[in-house]
Amino acid sequence: MTETRKRTLLVSDKKKEIYYAGNPDIVKEYPVIGVLASGKAPGPVVWDSYHLFYALRDSEVTVAGGWHSPLEKGILDALIEGKANIALFAAKGLKVSGFQQKFKLLDRTSRGLMISLFPDSVTKINGTDAPLLRNKLLAAISDILLIPYLKPMGKLFHMLKTESAFLNKTFILNHAENDRISLKVKRVDTNHVSDLISDAQKAYLKRQL
């Protein structure tokens, strides 16, 4: 079993205690693309999302996610087969996060990092507070946010609407299923992954200043 360690991070100008296992350098030394997706994504957007992430998975970036919704889980499986680093954000303690098997595959080549706001003693997710805190931590650490599917008026929609710092660095998949979104966000096409990576790299360089 991987050892859980504890450290203090400066996140959005606030100190937060986090618990982690794996290689923290993949967040410090690479552009971080955070991935969040609403649940019950329609089939057509799922197909295009996989197309995008297959194009992304060998890039020199770190892709971070909670990997909870069905779409997110499918994206994670696609990414594991590539070369990109992967950060796994949990809404409970890392020992019972459900990431252990996938993390072992990544840890063999130092490509993986598990992060949580919660100690190992927290073994269950209670209500919606823990997932929201996880998503906010993920968004704050990420250089850009990539959302393949955003449900209108859903929980993720409301998080972005109330957090302008997150909204300003958000990209959503340019797909008809996302056309009902009223938020002012940038869009990314499946055939323009290089542009997304370039934006992540620019944001990463600003983070280093």
Question: Over the stretch 130-173, which tens digit does the pLDDT of each residue have?
Answer: 999 999 999 999 999 999 999 999 999 999 999 999 999 999 99
Q: Is the pLDDT of residue 13 over 80?
A: no
- Give me the pLDDT at residue 6, please: 92
Ordered strands of the 112-116 beta sheet: 5-11, 14-22, 112-116, 85-90, 62-65, 32-35, 144-147, 170-173, 186-188
Residue type, position 84, single letter: A
pTM (predicted TM-score):
0.96
Whether the Cβ atoms of residue 113 and residue 17 lie closer than 8 Å to each other: no
Mind listing the domains of the chain with CATH numbers? 5-208 (3.40.50.450)
Q: In the predicted model, what is the mean pLDDT of residues 39-49?
A: 94
User: What share of the chain in percent tops pLDDT 70?
Assistant: 99
- Give me the pLDDT at residue 1, please: 52
Q: In the predicted model, what is the mean pLDDT of residues 96-116?
A: 91
Whether the Cβ atoms of residue 85 and residue 26 lie closer than 8 Å to each other: yes
